Every structure is written in C-alpha cells, then in structure tokens.
Amino acid sequence: MAKVLVTGGAGYIGSHVVKFLGEKGHSVLTVDNLSSGNPEAVIYGEFLKVDLAERFTLEKILQDFKPDMVMHFAASIVVPESVREPLKYYRNNVANTLNLLEAMVKSGVGCFIFSSSAAVYGIPEKVPVSEDAPLMPINPYGETKMMVERILKDLAQAQPCFRYVSLRYFNVAGADSNSRIGQSYKEATHLITRALKTAKGELPKFYIYGTDYPTKDGTCIRDFIHVDDIAIAHLYCMDYLLDGGKSEIFNCGYGHGYSVREVVNAVKEVTGIDFPTEDAPRREGDPPQLIADSNKIKKMLGWKPKYDDLKYIIKTAWQWEKRLQKRL
C-alpha cells in the first residue's frame, strides 16, 4: 500500500481520487486551503488545512508523512476568471506549484501526478487531439497548466530521481454513484452543474454562451468524462510510477463530444424539468471544440473507462444536487 499526499483533496476531482485511494487501502493525507474545497468531502485519511504558499510548512509535512507520491489538484480552474484575474492564476497555479516541487525535492519525494488540462491545446488544429499536438493555450488558465508541464519536464531532466505523470483532463462531470461527494463550489461554473442548478430553480435561467461557433448547432462541443473514470485513471498512473515508469503525459477523455445544446436537452430529459435557457455572447477563452484522443493511456496503462454515458453522468450529478438541496 502506498502513502499519498493529495493537494486540493477537498475539492471536486481531488476528493474523488482520495475516495478511491482510501477504498483501495492506501494511506492518504489531504492538504487544502479550503478556498473552494470542503473538508467534509475528504472521506478517507487525514486532513490538514494548509496553503501551498507556506513552503516551509509543506517541507515539514513531507518530512513527517514521508509519502511515496504527491498528487496535485490545488489549482484555480475557472477560465473566464483567469482572463479577468491572470495574476491570481499565475500565483496559485505556477508559483505555489513551484513551492510544492521545491519542498518535494528537498524532502526526497520523487513521484508526482499533476492535474493538467486540455486547455493547454487552445484551439487544436486536429480533433480528436492527441498528446503530441502543439500547445497553444488561449487563456491564462491554460497558460499556467502549460507552464507547470514545462517545469516538470525540466525538473525530471535535471533530477533523475524525479518522475511525473501529467493528466490532461477534458470536461469532468458527474458525482460519486452513492452521492457521498460531488461538486459543491459556491458559484457553479461547470456546464452540467449550472444546468442542474437551473433545473432546481437556484438559477433563473441557463445561459448558452456562444451560438455561432463552427459546430453542428453553433454551440461549443466538449468531451464530458465522469469524475470516477478520471479518479480511477490517477490510480493507474500511481501504480505506473511506483513500478518505475518514466515520466509521461496522458489525455483523459472519452474520444467523442456533445454540444452545449445536446447537454441541455439531456439534462431536461434526465430531470424531467423544462427550465428556461437564453442565448448569450461567447465567453473569452472558449475554444469551439475539444475532444480527446485517449488511446495512449489505454494502451500503456490499460485504463478502461466505465461510465461513458452522458445520461449516467447527468444522473449522478442530479442525485448529488438533490442531496445538497436536502442539506439546506
């Protein structure tokens, strides 16, 4: 069994990874500053409230816990906000990651899994997009993810004992099938979550940002992947690194996409609620289409997604939203 330090483990994706690590019997320590996370989402292992700006605190934690690996989820992730507040994103996503990596090097921890993003591709020339596609981010969020990937590459070349996997996520959605954890951000930004909150009546209407993209119905197309499939992929990557695997980058998606209008219609069908929508101008930093070529992680690590079903993704997210409503 491995000892794993998880940064940002009280957040959406991190908490699902912690869940699977705990269920497999691994020893988990979660650190999170709770800027957007929820300590109740950490259902296995120990939790410490720590900000990654506190480098010396990180060093002490690493030296005391002595993890075999660090999984890093503690990033700011809202694309439009990154356009409005780029310095926030460079400080948290790049500078704080440097703090973490420096603390790891000093403490002798050499395995790292990085929560990256398809945003590094920007507007890809070819879809589905593979890992060797040019990196051309079109917003500060994507720029910060690309910068960290370059830092990791340089660090691995300089420090032979340091190895990493960078997982480039596509659009993560859904929730734990038993509704124990899910998205619980104060202000919903994910498409499916916003649609469900509109169905619940928490939002007055659902805005469709951009209807003139060069797609089949004029709205953006995205590759939606269930959060449990993403989480399980991290365990495959962990086993790969701990078995001595070299540094790698993997896409993580299903290889096909749905338009915003198709998702809205599916949400209405699953919930049985015909909520209002309104067409709105494009948002800054949104590419027309992002679909993953995930053959590399399937062939190299044997990862096989289990939940490639848009209605199932929406159903689990809806069950979680209804549970949140009961808590209020």
The CA distance from 202 to 143, in Å, is: 33
3-state secondary structure of 106: helix
Amino acid of residue 183 = Q
Quote the distance between the C-alpha of residue 277 and its chain's center: 27
Tokens of 86: 């780029």
Residues 36/186, Cβ–Cβ less than 8 Å: yes
In angstroms, the CA 164 to CA 169 distance is: 16
Clarify whether 141 is annotated catalytic: yes
Residue from 44, 121, 141, 254 carrying the catalytic annotation = 141
How many whole angstroms separate alpha carbon 279 and alpha carbon 260?
11
> Which H helix or E strand runs over 57?
helix 55-65
Of 288, 294, 280, the C-alpha closest to 259 is 288
Alpha-carbon span 218 to 224, nearest angstrom: 18
- Distance between CA atoms of 63 and 76, rounded to whole angstroms? 26
Closest CA relative to residue 144, chosen from 84, 222, 92 = 92
Rg (CA), the chain: 19
Q: Which residues are catalytic?
A: 141
